[in-house]
């Protein structure tokens, strides 16, 4: 039987002694205890040899780590059994030379694939020494650049296109520059005799509506001739195949009648079936492979229509509106990401109404834990191949690495029902077209051969059950602009970079795969990571934790026309978070109102990898920003939204992403800020599952007598929607007045707020009370609008005593109309 023995008791040292060359280098001991899986940064941090790179501007003083050569070493005992023994390295980061007992075993140069080496002839009975030297990825990247020539990319002088490594390790407009090195996946000795399963590829499909079919293709590696049997089992269904002597592969097919289909969250259940594949000889099991699979069909409708080229995801034949978020690695140091942490983050996604996560191409191919959870939660996944914002050489040694990496990852991830489509790259087709790359490149390669040949061939050959799309964005044809709104997928980044978020309404896209707006992290996250005294929007630490070009300037310019410029830190923090939530609400609800013309939005981004001002809805410490609550409303299965119509008309739009007809019945009320009704209209509509319905509003409802002091309310069982006739800076907001009642509970406080005036976007920030405090229960809400006499309840959970008076005043309790006017 195949057995895997993890190697333990590792040490870390600098190759050749002290690093040298940087005044920031500390005195290091000759050997440092190391944790595997892990990386140099986490090992040095665990021993107190470096400061936390996430705090203040410590990142700047740790650049020497990525430019240093390191050695991981272990000594282990071995007993010779006569079996074949392989050294299996599931992930090495990145440029490694492996030596066993002084003999070079092999070299690696790709973080995104595994390696296997036969070391049977090198192992000794008794003590053995294994050393893995990691050379500086910068020096390696410089050598590749010198060999293949310069390629344009967005990361300055960092070696992004020249090495197969997580691109965001080299910094991004939301991430630090911390080039890691180390053994980042399990490593150990695998012993086996006779034969083993070298590869298992289960193609899972549905035939005749509700019958499941699993076609298992298995690769076999032999050590000794034997009569082998390949067997696959799913529940009570088993099929076996006797292989020809020395056969290198075999195929078996399981037909399973009356399976329960796997559905995305909100569309049905997520049944998963245990699939087992085994290899045996003479009745003795030699190797075994087990996964859970789900039965569903997936296709993407891209048949041209009168409006261009759609991009409509269909699961089990049902067209779905994608309510997505982009995902980046949840920590720069990915070995710190536990399954529990992933579960929390993906729960935050589903709780916000998200049904798809796009794994962005500058990070990693996500873990088995990630995909297992996505399968269970019903989260569809778009997985990018790992190319982002760069022109990638197609010469050796990179070409072979890309081909091997793609094949391995397609095979590894194909059992997962949640994986819906593969995407060739992030923004590289767009970059080649619009960012002057073509002029800089001349006739040099830039990645087109990967996106239009290598990758689609790999997916088609290994896993034809899933669609492949060449890039994000991509218009579906190489003769079109890659970011054409009328065709395929697009990204919208003029909003945020140059234009006001109201420009979203000028777009009529088929599918928006990236768009977003920045806001700072929660106060507790910012305060933990930045020690500036006083804390200010432009204090050094705050600016260091803002990686976007002129990011804070864009935050302020994004307020223009909406809010007055803040003069205090607390007002800056609140208004920029609020404006982020407003911007995404505006965009999402417009795009959803266009259904079925537009069939998807993927917000940039769900999460952060460290404490930073960014586009995320959940910050680097896992706390939810106001944007998260805005997503939960805008991504609800049933959406009520006010949308302008031609010739200054106004309609209430009902969008039904649920699975049953929505019999909508509610009133739209025009009222003053004092709550007095001025006009009323009753909406009654039947909205089919997967449909959208527009109801024009009559003139007396949509036409205010005083635009600065009136609003529209739609109150329904599905929630409250509002429409204001002017921007905040032009509204005659009342000075906020309210009464607050605070009651101690077993787990914290119950805070009840009763409005005496209009309170717009009322939000309680629990982390302002205590960094450990959270909102919870049925009262977990934010951005609430109250009319006079109405009330809201917040449940604050905290393991420690909290000041009972603080929840009733800023900066804990805020609303839009407590911000200073122009």
Are 693 and 739 within 8 A, CB to CB? no
Measuring CA to CA, which residue among 612, 641, 617, 616 is closest to residue 629?
617
Q: Average the pLDDT over 720-746 and give the result.
A: 95
Q: Average the pLDDT over 325-332 and give the result.
A: 98
659-677 pLDDT, tens digit per residue, is: 999 999 999 999 999 999 9
Are 544 and 57 within 8 A, CB to CB? yes
The single residue listed with the structure tokens 């939660």 is 377
In the three-class reduction of DSSP (H, G, I as helix; E, B as strand; rest coil), residue 411 is classed as: helix
Task: For the chain, give the mean pLDDT.
Answer: 96
Are 95 and 109 within 8 A, CB to CB? yes
pLDDT at 19 over 60: no
How would you classify residue 68: left for phi > 0, otherwise alpha for psi between -120 and 50, otherwise beta? Answer: beta
CATH architecture for residues 3-189: Sandwich (2.60)
Are 89 and 381 within 8 A, CB to CB? no
Band (732; pLDDT cuts 50, 70, 90): very high
CATH code of the domain occupying 194-293: 2.60.40.10
CATH, domain 307-634, list 3.40.109.10, 3.40.50.980, 3.20.20.80, 3.40.50.1100: 3.20.20.80
Band (51; pLDDT cuts 50, 70, 90): very high
> Who's near 209: CB < 8 A, 6+ residues apart?
none
| Alpha carbon distances (Å) from 79 to 10, 106, 120, 444 | 20, 23, 11, 52
622-625 long-range Cβ contacts below 8 angstroms, 24+ apart: 622/341, 622/344, 622/345, 622/348, 623/521, 623/522, 623/524, 623/525, 623/767, 623/774, 624/348, 624/522, 625/519, 625/521, 625/522, 625/577, 625/580, 625/581
Are 306 and 334 within 8 A, CB to CB? no
pLDDT at position 20 is 58
pLDDT at 69 over 60: yes
pLDDT at 600 over 60: yes
Residues of the chain with CATH 3.20.20.80: 307-634
Band (591; pLDDT cuts 50, 70, 90): very high
Q: Average the pLDDT over 748-760 and give the result.
A: 96
pLDDT at position 802 is 83
pLDDT at 225 over 80: no
Are 702 and 723 within 8 A, CB to CB? no
Structure letter (DSSP) for residue 500? -
Exposure string over 65-79, b if 16+ CB within 10 A, otherwise e: bbebbbbbbbebebe
The dihedrals phi and psi of 249, each to the nearest 5 degrees, come to -160, 165
Beta partners for 616? none
pLDDT at position 458 is 98
pLDDT at 21 over 70: no
pLDDT at 612 over 60: yes
Measuring CA to CA, which residue among 758, 807, 805 is closest to residue 785?
758
Residues of the chain with CATH 2.60.40.10: 194-293, 638-730
Band (803; pLDDT cuts 50, 70, 90): confident
pLDDT at position 23 is 79
> From the CB of residue 796, how many other CB atoms can be counted at a distance below 10 Å?
25
Q: Which runs of consecutive H residues, i.e. helices, occur in 473-625? A: 494-497, 523-529, 540-544, 551-557, 569-593
490-492 vs 468-469, strand pairing mode: unpaired
pLDDT at 774 over 90: yes
Q: Which fold has domain 738-818?
A: Immunoglobulin-like (2.60.40)
Share of the chain above pLDDT 70, in %: 99
How far apart (Å, rounded) are the C-alpha atoms in residues 200 and 278?
A: 10
> Who's near 343: CB < 8 A, 6+ residues apart?
373
Beta partners for 716? 719
Beta partners for 649? 645
Share of the chain above pLDDT 90, in %: 92
Largest CA distance in the chain: 92
264-293 pLDDT, tens digit per residue, is: 999 999 999 999 999 999 889 999 999 999
225-228 long-range Cβ contacts below 8 angstroms, 24+ apart: 226/194, 226/195, 226/281, 226/282, 227/281, 227/282, 228/194, 228/195, 228/279, 228/280, 228/281, 228/286
Measuring CA to CA, which residue among 601, 389, 614, 581 is closest to residue 515?
601
Q: Strands across the sheet with 273-281, in order?
A: 237-242, 228-234, 273-281, 284-293
Read off the pTM: 0.96
**DSSP-derived secondary structure for 680-728:** EEEEEEEE-TTEEEEEEPPHHHHS-S-TTSEEEEEEETTEEEEEESS-G
pLDDT at position 246 is 82
Q: State whether CATH 3.30.559.10 applies to domain 638-730.
A: no
pLDDT at 719 over 70: yes
545-577 pLDDT, tens digit per residue, is: 999 999 999 999 999 999 999 999 999 999 999
**DSSP-derived secondary structure for 533-550:** SS--TTSHHHHHT--STT
In the three-class reduction of DSSP (H, G, I as helix; E, B as strand; rest coil), residue 679 is classed as: strand
pLDDT at position 778 is 77
Band (311; pLDDT cuts 50, 70, 90): very high
């Amino acid at each position: 039987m195949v057995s895997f023995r993890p190697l333990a008791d590792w040490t870390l040292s600098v190759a050749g002694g002290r690093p040298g060359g940087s005044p920031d280098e500390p005195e290091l001991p000759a050997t440092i205890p190391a944790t595997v899986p892990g990386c140099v940064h986490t090992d040095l941090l665990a021993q107190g040899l470096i400061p936390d790179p996430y705090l203040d501007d410590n990142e700047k003083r740790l650049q020497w780590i990525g430019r240093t050569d390191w050695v991981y070493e272990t000594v282990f005992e071995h007993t010779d059994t006569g079996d074949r023994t392989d050294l299996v390295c599931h992930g090495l980061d990145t440029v490694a030379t492996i030596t066993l007992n002084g003999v070079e075993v092999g070299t690696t140069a790709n973080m995104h694939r595994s390696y296997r080496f036969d070391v049977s002839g090198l192992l000794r009975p008794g003590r053995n020494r294994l050393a893995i030297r990691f050379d500086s990825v910068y020096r390696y990247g410089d050598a590749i650049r010198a060999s293949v020539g310069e390629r344009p990319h967005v990361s300055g002088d960092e070696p992004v296109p020249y090495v197969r490594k997580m691109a965001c390790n080299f910094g991004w407009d939301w991430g630090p520059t911390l080039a890691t090195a180390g053994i980042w996946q399990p490593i150990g000795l695998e012993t086996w005799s006779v034969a083993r399963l070298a590869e298992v590829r289960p193609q899972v499909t549905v035939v005749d509506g509700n019958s499941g079919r699993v076609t298992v293709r298995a690769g076999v590696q032999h050590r000794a001739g034997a009569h082998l049997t390949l067997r696959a089992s799913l529940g009570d269904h088993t099929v076996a195949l006797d292989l020809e002597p020395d056969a290198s592969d075999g195929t078996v097919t399981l037909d399973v009648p009356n399976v329960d289909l796997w559905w995305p969250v909100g569309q049905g259940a997520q049944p998963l079936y245990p699939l087992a594949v085994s290899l045996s000889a003479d009745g003795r099991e030699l190797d075994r492979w087990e996964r859970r699979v789900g039965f569903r069909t997936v296709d993407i409708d891209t048949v041209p229509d009168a409006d261009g080229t759609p991009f409509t995801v269909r699961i089990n034949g049902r067209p779905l509106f994608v309510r997505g978020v982009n995902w980046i690695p949840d920590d720069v140091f990915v070995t710190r990401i536990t399954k529990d942490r992933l579960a929390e983050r993906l729960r935050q996604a589903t709780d916000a109404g998200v049904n798809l996560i796009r794994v962005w191409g500058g990070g990693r191919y996500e873990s088995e834990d990630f995909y297992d959870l996505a399968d269970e939660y019903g989260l569809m996944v778009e997985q990018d191949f790992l190319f982002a914002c760069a022109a990638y050489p197609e010469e050796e040694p990179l070409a072979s690495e890309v081909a091997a990496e793609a094949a391995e990852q397609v095979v590894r991830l194909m059992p997962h029902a949640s994986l819906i489509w593969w995407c060739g790259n992030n923004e590289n087709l767009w970059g080649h077209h619009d960012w002057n790359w073509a002029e800089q490149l001349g006739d040099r390669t830039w990645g087109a051969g990967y996106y239009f040949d290598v990758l689609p061939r790999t997916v088609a050959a290994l896993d034809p059950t899933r669609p492949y799309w060449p890039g994000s964005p991509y218009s579906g044809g190489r003769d079109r602009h890659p970011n054409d709104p009328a065709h395929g997928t697009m990204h919208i980044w003029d909003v945020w970079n140059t234009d006001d978020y109201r420009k979203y309404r000028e777009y009529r896209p088929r599918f928006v795969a990236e768009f977003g707006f920045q806001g700072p992290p929660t106060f507790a996250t910012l305060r933990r990571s930045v020690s500036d005294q006083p804390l200010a929007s432009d204090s050094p630490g705050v600016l260091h934790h803002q990686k976007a070009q002129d990011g804070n300037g864009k935050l302020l310019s994004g307020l223009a026309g909406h809010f007055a410029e803040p003069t205090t830190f607390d007002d800056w923090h609140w208004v920029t978070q609020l404006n982020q939530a407003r911007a995404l609400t505006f965009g999402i609800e417009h795009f959803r109102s266009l259904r079925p013309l537009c069939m998807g939005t993927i917000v940039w981004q769900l999460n952060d990898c460290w404490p930073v001002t960014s586009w995320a809805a959940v910050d680097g410490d896992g706390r939810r920003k106001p944007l998260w609550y805005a997503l939960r409303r805008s991504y609800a299965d049933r959406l009520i939204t006010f949308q302008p119509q031609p010739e200054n008309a106004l309609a209430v739009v009902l969008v039904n992403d649920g699975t049953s007809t929505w019999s909508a019945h509610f009133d739209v009320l025009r009222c003053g800020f004092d709550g007095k009704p001025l006009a009323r209209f009753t909406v009654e509509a039947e909205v089919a599952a997967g449909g959208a319905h527009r109801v024009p509003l009559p003139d007396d409802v949509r036409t205010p007598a005083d635009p600065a002091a009136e609003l529209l309310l739609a109150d329904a069982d599905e929630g409250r929607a509002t429409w204001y006739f002017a921007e905040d800076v032009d509204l005659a907001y009342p000075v906020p007045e309210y009464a607050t009642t605070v009651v101690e509970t077993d787990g914290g406080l119950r805070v009840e707020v009763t409005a005496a005036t209009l309170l717009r976007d009322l939000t309680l920030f629990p982390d302002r009370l205590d960094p450990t405090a959270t909102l919870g229960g049925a009262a977990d809400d934010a951005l609430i609008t109250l009319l006079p006499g109405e009330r809201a309840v917040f449940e604050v959970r905290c393991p420690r005593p909290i000041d009972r008076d603080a929840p009733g005043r800023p900066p804990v309790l805020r609303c839009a109309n407590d911000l200073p006017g122009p």
